[in-house]
Every structure is written in structure tokens, then in C-alpha cells.
């Protein structure tokens, strides 16, 4: 009887393969069986790179994650290298797997089997990773075997045949060195491998090296990096304790010498590449440790890393002091430890070496300057520790905290108020007593204490007298002013040659006041009268100067370019001193240099409308009036406010405020103060001698006293 | 407690199938954390024929923390302090090197190995280490004298509280 034969075969098959099942409970003769595919030595499965950048890369990312999990649970094949060497982006994505999804055999023993009909066989895998050719071949094997054994009961023979074929992966590996599987099945295939490994691992028994008890794999953990197995209880106890005590170095494999040996091996094998000997936070979570503990581990690890790096910049906010973001040490997000640090290590070291060999590190603004606090988000400059000012602001490192005390500030204020800078070296000089002819203690320049004008060493007193051309400057007859000295302790407070516009303070005079067309009646005639003469004389004198002092003549062109901008301070001073309408005296060409010019008095003289005529001439006259007024007041009491202002007005005109315009084309000169003026003067002087680089050295000179 | 269980296992291992030249006793049966170990001097060394007492004390959180091992018997050795404390310089016993899966048998064998092969490069007694390197005969002579004087009779175990001092 046909049926009997099939029943006999099926019952023996069920005895051999207890996992045998029926496809349909109502059809006892169609059975299916899953044949496991566990190649003894594993197989390298390659997933070809997707040709399009569609959703597949995301797929791949997930699968990579799965691959990592595969490692964590170890394999049943104990000792097998289970680290997939997956390089997601370049080259084929390959993994060594030891479990592939099983082959499902569906065998139908129809009526007429075995005598007349072969069994109907269908082979499939889920997902369909098995190539169609193999599937077809296997399916054809059923009828073929049935024929071979003489049309008899072939089911067992066939199943056994497929099982044996599965052992060597149906011959696939021999052909290609590896198995190529469509990338769309990647996740499923990898996932199956993971689960199979985990199941196999769970069934195994291990002897925990810590508690020395034999433990089932299901309560054990295989270390990701080295493969040692410990029981979860011991790992939890040990790591919880270590992290609680902050003993981060202990958070490694518990096998004796394990981490060290791997370090050594890595060092000899491949220089420069560090082997990870600590345990990743994700592995700790898998053991599992409490998330809080792992978080503490991550935080402590990051903190240690930052603290051991001398380049770490901390937030300048005193209430924060968080570390600034850096490429080298990424702040951990959640449980992820930034691992970029390992990669950057090498280049960072090289940089350090370069930095120590040269005196200065190469300036890399984008890298070094902008720092953003990781904790409070404060963006600041890593050099000056002020809030971020952009890449192009020149700043300097802050002085050490206590360096500039209140005392220092007061001292600087005092210096500003009670000294006059040397026109050559800018050394602040305080007059304690005596006349206004000063000799710089540092560079031996002769200069006027009142206006900081450079004086000719041959006859420095000329400055305070009627000039050779018969003019008088603003310091005329003031040689003995402030005879008792300058400063709180020595008498009058005189802002010295720093006067300029600064002490006048207040808002700049509106333009309409500064450049009025109204003229002082007194001066008008005189101005007109002298305008032409003056110009001629000017020219003449300039030539004379050429003969006597080459330097002055060479300065000329420099000043010419900047003659257009009058310092408002001058205009301001005028009315206060003399009650005349404010003017904006445009310093004529050489106004700025008359101190060095033998004919110093020229520009400041009341009747010396020196311009080329017209408005400049008139303005010059006005300025002269202001000065005259100041001079007239002199008798009333020297050092008086009005008088000083008047004098300053004159200074503003005479001095070098306008010259700064060369450097700061649009800036208003009312910001000028004496040091700046002196600086310009000094710069010009040095520039003429081709020694302007000395200036930087002088500026660094702590010559301030 | 896992700690007690493991110590029991280790003790059982050491007493039932004790390694060559090593025997373990408990001075106090109720205290598993203090072992008395008798070490037979390895043959072909100056220590041959001597019996050396070792006191092993296990911290409460053993095996997470390393045990401390000291010589109760005076011994002339570059890696053991030449005094009544008998401290040993042994890598595996250092805190940073200790791994919880290191077993006491391994430690004891390492100590015995140190007797067979002193490590003069990492000495506790520099003078003895120098002598060991430069005047081996002199060193052997002194070591044998020490054995004859201290390691021949009954071992005098230190009191529990003053384990390290006595």
C-alpha cells in the first residue's frame, strides 16, 4: 500500500529529525525541515556596495550596529575570531559569519510516491540569500536521488544530502573564496548570525575566572575585545565598584595580563595605532551595568582625558569653568565616548613637537582662537579670554590676574595726567621743578614740557622766544610756567603734552561750529594782509630749513597728505579761551612739524595765516587769535582752566593729531592724545632714519615710570 | 558572599591538590581571610631544605583587591625585605596589576618561583641584589646561613593583629 510506505518513512524521519513539521496539519505528507547552515570555520560574507546612494546606506549603518552586537554575545564556535572586519565605506562590506539562515526543505510525498513519482521538493531560505542556481540544483537533486536509489523512499537520503551540502556551503565558498549576498539581505543575515551565536553561547558552560563557578553562557558575558568570558555577577560587582571608586584603569578585562598583552601585541604589530584596552560604555551597558554607573564612567573618563591635556582651555566665566569644545576631545553624548581622540593623537603629538622646536607655534586663528564652552555655551577668544571678537581683532593674552592692580591703574592715570611724553622715545617725563626746557632722561632729546615739541639742541630756548621770523608760538614767554613742578605732590596738575583734545572732554563740536565762515574782525585784516607774505615766507623758510635740517624737509610730504582734518579739540579750546566763535583751524602743510622746524612759531602765530590763501588762511588766523587769547590770559594766572584750554587748542593744532590720520583714515582726531601724537612723531622720526622697527621694541620697553 | 565562596574553593584546591612544595593551613577555621602557607625551599637553590612561612591575608573585597603576602620566616633574598616584616616585591600583588581572576595558587607559585629565580632588577634589598649579581658565591653562603638559622625549625607564625609587624 502506498500510504503505508509513506507513513513508515515519515515516522522514521520524525524519529531522526524531531524538528520535522507539517506544512499543513491536514496534509500529513507534506513536511518541512530547516537545515542549519553553520560552516565549521565560518565564512566571509560580502555585501557588495550599493550602486545608488538611496536608503541602502542607512540600511548598512543599522547592520553595522547589529554587527557590533554580534561581537558582544560571542559565538558558539568558541574561540573563533568573531570580529567582523567591516569597513563600511571603502571596499566591500564583509563579515565573518558562522551561522547563516537555515535552508528550508519542503518535501511533498504525493500519491504515487515512492514507486511512481519522485518527491516534490522545494528549497528556500529566508531571506533568500542562497543563489537561485544552488536552489535549483538542490531541488533537482530530489528526483535525481530518487532515480538513483531505484525509485524508493528517498526522503532521508535527500535530507542527509542537503545537510552535507550545507556543511561546505553548497560548494559556494570554493568557487569564490567568500560568499556574496545581496546587500538588501544584510540585516537579516547578520541578525540571524547574532541570534544563533547568542543562542549557542547561552547553551555553553563557562568557568568564571572570578568566582570560579561554572556558569551557563546565558549569565555570562564574553568580552568584546579579547573574548574572555566572565559571569555577569562578577563583572557587575567588579566594574560597579571600580567606577564608584573612580578607579577607571581597572575597568578592563579581568583576566590577568590580558589588556597588557594586547597592548604589547599591538605595539609590536603596528606602531602608532593604539589598541583599546578599556571597555566601551556600550559594552558596560550590555553586561549590563546601570545606566547611571555607565554615565559616571563616561563622565569621569572624559574629565580625566581633559585634565591630562595641557592644551585644554576652560571657560573664563568664574561660575562655569567648563572645558571648551575641542576636536581632540569630544564631549561624550549620552553613553558615547568620543573616540576621535585616538585618531588625532598622532597628529597632535607632531604638532607639539613642531611647537617646541620652533619658538612660536604657527598661528592658526580658526583653530586656536574661537573657543566655545561646552557647559554654558559661552563663545570666547582662547587668547584673551574675552567674549568672542572675531578672527581679525588683535588681542593679547590677559595679564596675570593680579598684575594690573588698582594701584597700577591709578599710577597709569597719574602718569597720563602729570607727565609729558618725550617726542622722540615717548618716555613719560614728569617735571618736578624748573623751566619747561626738558632733556629726556632716556634718549636725551630736548623738548618743551608744555607742548611736547622737540627743541633744537643748539638753542632750545628759542621755542619760548620770538621766533627768528618774528612770530611767536603758543609757548612764547612760557619757559617758566609750572616752575614748581607738575603733579599733585609738586603743585599744579598739568596734563602735559598729552593734552590734545582729551582733557577737554565732552562731545565733539558740531561741524557747523567747527568750520564757520565768520571771521574774527581783528584778525581778518591781518590775516588778509599777511596771507600772501606768509606763504612766501613759508616757502622761503622751508627752503632755509632744507639747508639746515634735511630731516624736516623730508617730513614735509608725509604731513601734506593728512592736513585736512582738524582736531576738534582745537576748535573747542578756542572759544573757551578767547570767547571767539569756534573755528576749525586747518593746520597748514607743515603745521604739524613746526616744533622740529627752526621756525616753530610760524604756525601758531596770530597773524600767520599761512595757508595758500582763502579759507585756510582765515582759519589759521582764527586759530592764531585763540592762541593769542590764551597768551593774553597768561598773565591772569597760569594753569587756569581757560588758559590751559587755550593752550591745548593751540597744541591740538600744532601737534600731530592730524598725522594720525595717515594711519586711521576716517577716525576723528578728537581721540588723539599726547602719547599717540608722540608716537606718530617718533615714528616719523624713526622712519626717516629707516629705523621704525625700533618703535616696537620701545613700546615693549617697560620704561613707564 | 561571592568572596567567601571563592576563597573556599581556592582553599579546597590548595589543600586537596596542593602544588609542589606548598602547603596551606588556616590558623583560625572561622577566618577564611588569613592563610598560613608553608613553602619548601626549591631544590638547587640556597633555600633548599628550608621551610618558609608565608602569611597570606585576603582583603574583604577579595578577589577584587589583591591579597597581601609576607614572609613569616626571615630570608636572605633580593626581593624580600631583610627584616621581620618579610615584605615581598611581586608584580602580580601590586594593586595596578592585580586582576580578579588571578588565583592564590598562582600567587603562591609565583612566590616560590621567586625563590628559585630572584629578580635583582626590581629589588627590595638593593644591597642583596648587588651581591646576588656580583658575588653569587657570597650571596649563596649568606642565604644558606639564613636558612640554617631561621628556616630549619618550627615556623613561628606572627600574631593575627600584628600580622605584618611580628
Are residues A179 and A214 located together in one domain of the fold?
no
Tell me, yes or no, if B10 comes closer than 8 A to chain A by beta carbon. Answer: yes
CA–chain centroid gap for A319, Å, is 22
Are residues A279 and A300 located together in one domain of the fold?
yes
Residues of chain B above pLDDT 90, percent: 1
Asked if A326 and A314 count as a contact pair (C-beta separation under 8 A), the reply is no
**Does residue B166 fall inside a structural domain?**
no
Q: What is the pLDDT of residue A50?
A: 61
Question: In the predicted model, is pLDDT for residue A146 greater than 50?
Answer: yes
**Does residue A573 fall inside a structural domain?**
no
What is the ipTM score, two decimals?
0.76
Query: What is the domain count for chain B?
Result: 1
Chain B: give the shortest CA distance to residue A225, in Å. Answer: 17
Give me the CATH number covering residue A242. 3.30.40.10
Q: What is the pLDDT of residue A400?
A: 58
Residues of A in contact with B9 (CB under 8 A): 212-213
Query: Could you say which of A443, A464, A485 is where a domain stops?
Result: A464
Question: In the predicted model, is pLDDT for residue A220 greater than 80?
Answer: yes
- Cα nearest neighbour of B106 on chain A: A256
- pLDDT higher for B135 or A352? B135
Which stretches within A566-640 are classed as H helix?
A: 568-578, 601-604, 614-634
Q: Which residues of A665-680 are buried (b: 16+ CB within 10 A; e: fewer)?
A: eeeebbbbbbbbbbbb
Q: Give me the residues paired with residue A22 across strands.
A: A31
With cell 629589588, the residue in question is B123
Are residues A225 and A317 located together in one domain of the fold?
no
Cross-chain residue pair B102–A212, CB shorter than 8 Å: no
Q: What is the pLDDT of residue A680?
A: 78
Question: In the predicted model, is pLDDT for residue A325 greater than 80?
Answer: no
Non-local CB neighbours of A205 within 8 Å, separated by 6+ positions? A214, A215, A216, A217
Question: In the predicted model, is pLDDT for residue A667 greater than 70?
Answer: no
Residue A467 phi, psi (nearest 5): -70, 160
Tens digits of residue pLDDT in B106-156: 888 888 888 888 888 877 888 888 888 888 899 999 999 888 888 887 778
Give me the CATH number covering residue B19. 3.10.110.10
Name residues 88-127 of chain B within 8 A of A (Cβ): 92, 96, 99-103, 106
Mean pLDDT of A73-99: 53
**Does residue A648 fall inside a structural domain?**
no
Query: Could you say which of A398, A418, A451 is where a domain stops?
Result: A398
Name residues 32-61 of chain B within 8 A of A (Cβ): 61
Cross-chain residue pair A238–B64, CB shorter than 8 Å: yes
Query: Could you tell me whether strands A179-180 and A43-47 are parallel, antiparallel, or unpaired per DSSP bridges?
Result: parallel
Q: What 8-state DSSP symbol labels residue A118?
A: P
**Does residue B9 fall inside a structural domain?**
yes
**Does residue A607 fall inside a structural domain?**
no
**Does residue A566 fall inside a structural domain?**
no
Asked if A189 and A97 count as a contact pair (C-beta separation under 8 A), the reply is yes
Tell me, yes or no, if B2 comes closer than 8 A to chain A by beta carbon. Answer: yes
Q: What is the pLDDT of residue B23?
A: 86
Tens digits of residue pLDDT in A360-405: 444 444 456 788 887 788 888 877 888 888 877 777 766 655 566 7
Are residues A167 and A255 located together in one domain of the fold?
no
Are residues A138 and A11 located together in one domain of the fold?
yes
Question: In the predicted model, is pLDDT for residue A460 greater than 80?
Answer: yes
Residues in chain B: 166
**Does residue B16 fall inside a structural domain?**
yes
DSSP for A422-453, please give it: -TTT--EE---SS-SEEE-TTT--EEETTT--
Dist. CA A7–CA A111, nearest whole Å: 12
The residue segments making up the domain with residue A436 are 406-464
Output the average pLDDT for chain A. 66
Question: In the predicted model, is pLDDT for residue A154 greater than 50?
Answer: yes
**Does residue B76 fall inside a structural domain?**
yes
Are residues A165 and A133 located together in one domain of the fold?
yes
Question: In the predicted model, is pLDDT for residue A58 greater than 50?
Answer: no
Q: What is the pLDDT of residue B155?
A: 79
Q: What is the pLDDT of residue A333?
A: 61
The residue segments making up the domain with residue B135 are 2-152
Are residues A32 and A130 located together in one domain of the fold?
yes
Catalytic residue among B48, B89, B155, B166: B89
Residue A177's pLDDT band (cuts 50, 70, 90): low
Question: In the predicted model, is pLDDT for residue A253 greater than 50?
Answer: yes
Longest dimension (CA), chain B: 51
Output the average pLDDT for chain B. 84
**pTM of structure:** 0.49
With cell 555577577, the residue in question is A233
Dist. CA B6–CA A146, nearest whole Å: 61
Tens digits of residue pLDDT in A541-571: 444 444 444 333 333 333 333 334 444 444 3
Are residues A236 and A214 located together in one domain of the fold?
yes
Amino acid at each position: 500500500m502506498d500510504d503505508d510506505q509513506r507513513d513508515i518513512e515519515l515516522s522514521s524521519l520524525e524519529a531522526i529529525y524531531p524538528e520535522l513539521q507539517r506544512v499543513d496539519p491536514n496534509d500529513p505528507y507534506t513536511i518541512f525541515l530547516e537545515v542549519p547552515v553553520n560552516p565549521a570555520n565560518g565564512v566571509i560574507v560580502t555585501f557588495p556596495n550599493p550602486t545608488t546612494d538611496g536608503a541602502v546606506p542607512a540600511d548598512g549603518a543599522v547592520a553595522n550596529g547589529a554587527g557590533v552586537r554580534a561581537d558582544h554575545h560571542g559565538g558558539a564556535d568558541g574561540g573563533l575570531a568573531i570580529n567582523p572586519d567591516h569597513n563600511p565605506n571603502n571596499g566591500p562590506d564583509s563579515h565573518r559569519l558562522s551561522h547563516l539562515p537555515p535552508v528550508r526543505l519542503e518535501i511533498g510525498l504525493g500519491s504515487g510516491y515512492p514507486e511512481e513519482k519522485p518527491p516534490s521538493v522545494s528549497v528556500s531560505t529566508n531571506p533568500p540569500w542562497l543563489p537561485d542556481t544552488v536552489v535549483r540544483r538542490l531541488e533537482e537533486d530530489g528526483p535525481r536521488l530518487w532515480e538513483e536509489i531505484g525509485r524508493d523512499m528517498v526522503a532521508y537520503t535527500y535530507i542527509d544530502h542537503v545537510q552535507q551540502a550545507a556543511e561546505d556551503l553548497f560548494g559556494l565558498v570554493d568557487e569564490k573564496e567568500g560568499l556574496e549576498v545581496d546587500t538588501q539581505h544584510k540585516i537579516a543575515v547578520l541578525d540571524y548570525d547574532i541570534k544563533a551565536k547568542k543562542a549557542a553561547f547561552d547553551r555553553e558552560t563557562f568557568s568564571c575566572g572570578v568566582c570560579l563557578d561554572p556558569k551557563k553562557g546565558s549569565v555570562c558575558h564574553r568580552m568584546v575585545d579579547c573574548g574572555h568570558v566572565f559571569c555577569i555577577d562578577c563583572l557587575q560587582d567588579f566594574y560597579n565598584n571600580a567606577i564608584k571608586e573612580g578607579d577607571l584603569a581597572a575597568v578592563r578585562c579581568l583576566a590577568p595580563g590580558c589588556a597588557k598583552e594586547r597592548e604589547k601585541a599591538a605595539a609590536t604589530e603596528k606602531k602608532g595605532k593604539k589598541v583599546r584596552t578599556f571597555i566601551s560604555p556600550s559594552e558596560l551597558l550590555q553586561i549590563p551595568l546601570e545606566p547611571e554607573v555607565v554615565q559616571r564612567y563616561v563622565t569621569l573618563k572624559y574629565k580625566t582625558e581633559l585634565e591630562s591635556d595641557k592644551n585644554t582651555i576652560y571657560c573664563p566665566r568664574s561660575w562655569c569653568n567648563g572645558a571648551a569644545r575641542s576636536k581632540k576631545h569630544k564631549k561624550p553624548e549620552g553613553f558615547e565616548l568620543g573616540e576621535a581622540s585616538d585618531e588625532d593623537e598622532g597628529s597632535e603629538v607632531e604638532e607639539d613637537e613642531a611647537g617646541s622646536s620652533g619658538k612660536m607655534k604657527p598661528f592658526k586663528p580658526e583653530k586656536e582662537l574661537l573657543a566655545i564652552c561646552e557647559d554654558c555655551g559661552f563663545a570666547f577668544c582662547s587668547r584673551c579670554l574675552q567674549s568672542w571678537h572675531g578672527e581679525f581683532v588683535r588681542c593679547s593674552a590677559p595679564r596675570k590676574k593680579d598684575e594690573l592692580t588698582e594701584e597700577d591703574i591709578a599710577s597709569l592715570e597719574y602718569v597720563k595726567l602729570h607727565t609729558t611724553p618725550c617726542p622722540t622715545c615717548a618716555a613719560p617725563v614728569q617735571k618736578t621743578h624748573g623751566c619747561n626746557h626738558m632733556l629726556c632722561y632716556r634718549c636725551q632729546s630736548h623738548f618743551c614740557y608744555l607742548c611736547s615739541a622737540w627743541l633744537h639742541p643748539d638753542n632750545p630756548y628759542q621755542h619760548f622766544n620770538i621766533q627768528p621770523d618774528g612770530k611767536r608760538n603758543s609757548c612764547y614767554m612760557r619757559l617758566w610756567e609750572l616752575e614748581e613742578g607738575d603733579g599733585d605732590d609738586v603743585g599744579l596738575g598739568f596734563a602735559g603734552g598729552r593734552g590734545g583734545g582729551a582733557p577737554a572732554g565732552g562731545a565733539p563740536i558740531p561741524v557747523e561750529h567747527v568750520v564757520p565762515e565768520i571771521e574774527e574782525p581783528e584778525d581778518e585784516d591781518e590775516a588778509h594782509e599777511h596771507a600772501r607774505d606768509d606763504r612766501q615766507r613759508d616757502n622761503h623758510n622751508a627752503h632755509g630749513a632744507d639747508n639746515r635740517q634735511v630731516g624736516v624737509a623730508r617730513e614735509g610730504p608725509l604731513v601734506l597728505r593728512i592736513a585736512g582734518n582738524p582736531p576738534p579739540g582745537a576748535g573747542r579750546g578756542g572759544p573757551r579761551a578767547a570767547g571767539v566763535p569756534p573755528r576749525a583751524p586747518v593746520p597748514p602743510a607743515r603745521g604739524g612739524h613746526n616744533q622740529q622746524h627752526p621756525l616753530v612759531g610760524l604756525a601758531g602765530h596770530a597773524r600767520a595765516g599761512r595757508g595758500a590763501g582763502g579759507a585756510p588762511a582765515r582759519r589759521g588766523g582764527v586759530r592764531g587769535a585763540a592762541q593769542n587769547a590764551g597768551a593774553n590770559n597768561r598773565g591772569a594766572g597760569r594753569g587756569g582752566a581757560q588758559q590751559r584750554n587755550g593752550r591745548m587748542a593751540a597744541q591740538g593744532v600744532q601737534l600731530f593729531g592730524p598725522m594720525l590720520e595717515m594711519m586711521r583714515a576716517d577716525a576723528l582726531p578728537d581721540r588723539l592724545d599726547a602719547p599717540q601724537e608722540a608716537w606718530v612723531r617718533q615714528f616719523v622720526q624713526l622712519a626717516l632714519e629707516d629705523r621704525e622697527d625700533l618703535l616696537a621694541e620701545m613700546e615693549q620697553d617697560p620704561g613707564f615710570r | 558572599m561571592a568572596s567567601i565562596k571563592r576563597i573556599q574553593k581556592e582553599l579546597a584546591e590548595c589543600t586537596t591538590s596542593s602544588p609542589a612544595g606548598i602547603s596551606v593551613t588556616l590558623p583560625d577555621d572561622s577566618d577564611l581571610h588569613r592563610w598560613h602557607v608553608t613553602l619548601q625551599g626549591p631544590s638547587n637553590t640556597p633555600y633548599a631544605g628550608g621551610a618558609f612561612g608565608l602569611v597570606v591575608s585576603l582583603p574583604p573585597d577579595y578577589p577584587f583587591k589583591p591579597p597581601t603576602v609576607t614572609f613569616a620566616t626571615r630570608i636572605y633574598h633580593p626581593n624580600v625585605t631583610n627584616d621581620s616584616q618579610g615584605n615581598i616585591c611581586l608584580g602580580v600583588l601590586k594593586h595596578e596589576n592585580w586582576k580578579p581572576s588571578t588565583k592564590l595558587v598562582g600567587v603562591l607559585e609565583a612566590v616560590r618561583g621567586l625563590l628559585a629565580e630572584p629578580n635583582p632588577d626590581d629589588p627590595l634589598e638593593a644591597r642583596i641584589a648587588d651581591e646576588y649579581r656580583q658575588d653569587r658565591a657570597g650571596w649563596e653562603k649568606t642565604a644558606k646561613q639564613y636558612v640554617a638559622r631561621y628556616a630549619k625549625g618550627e615556623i613561628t607564625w606572627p600574631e593575627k593583629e600584628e600580622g605584618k609587624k611580628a
